Structure 1
Amino acid sequence: MEGDTLESLSRLSIDLLEFLYKEDYQRLLNIADSFPEYYCRENQFDVIVKIDGEDCYCNSDILSSRSSYFRTALSHDYVVKKGSYIILEEPSISPDTFKTMLKFFYRGGINLNNLDGELCISLLKAAEHFRLEELIEELQRHIIHNKTTWLQFNFIRVINGVFVEDGDERIRHHLIHKVNDNPWDCMGYIN
């Protein structure tokens, strides 16, 4: 098993060097995009994160290096184990949100441009849960500057906290200032 993994990593390294040499950056981006899905296989990881009936296989070193939440959760003596796997349950996060978060954990970033407003808010809640300050800031900026229409159609729900938790005051304040600055132009915010 270990030999197969080393051989696979060796082949991948050679391929990556070849793509760099040929300046084939699109292929590198495609590999980076598929990294979580390619490597999140049962035989290569030591953590199973259970989310809404789905098992997500993860590497404890990667999770711990990216998140103080996981550093704490994976370091305690009371962790639940099943065989050689550590079992974590995340009932407050949807599978789609966690799979998107895996891209952040494994790649260090998420392309937010193609995500809808609700998923961005779910990611914001997950980033707060996992204590990812850098991602929290990026998501708040993205929602405020790029999800204006979505915020307009969900104004009351956002203000009342349906989507946004108490820690997300920045988004609520943004909406309140928009209405205060120009109430007539903001009528679309109230549905």
Structure 2
Amino acid sequence: MTRTALTRTALRMVPTEGAIDVAAAEDAAAAFLEALGMDLDTAGLADTPARMARAYAELLTPRPFELTTFPNDEGYDEIVLARDIPVRSICEHHLLPFVGVAHVGYLPGARILGLSKLARVVEHFACRPQVQERLTMQVATSLAEHLGAAGVGVVIEAEHSCMTLRGVQATGSRTVTSALLGALRSDPTSRAEFLSLTGGSR
């Protein structure tokens, strides 16, 4: 066994939702559009149900990945932060998209995380009907559970189509949510540092 195999650990993260039936979704999309008075016999709309089905299938299917961690051999104990991770998800109330960025950080314990995995965890939980508050907590609690970090912090800033395109039509408004666990919640200095690094002092 190689030294890498002895020191590297990986947890396989896979989608937990039910299987997607794209053909059935296409039929349902056609019925939905026709119920809204659209003529699907026109050139522009003829293939729209199929495109809708494929688009929503893509939005709702996270890519499997391995949550890879390594020993914290250097004893690093300062914040590790990935800023401006793209977020795209679907509001579970209207099935309209919301998009924005996530800032995800942690205070290492015995292990550190492959940096790209912070973005992968965000994508994993975003690829399903969501509310932003739940998404924020799911990312934070998953990292805390699997990483054994001394503290975890997640801030998500997003613009919701259900607010900007309909209803109040508050174009340009952004919703900010945060979840702070462990030392990033209980220690005022660490909390302030994390929020400063993520732009929380603005």
TM-score calculated relative to the size of structure 1: 0.29
- Greater percentage in strand: 2
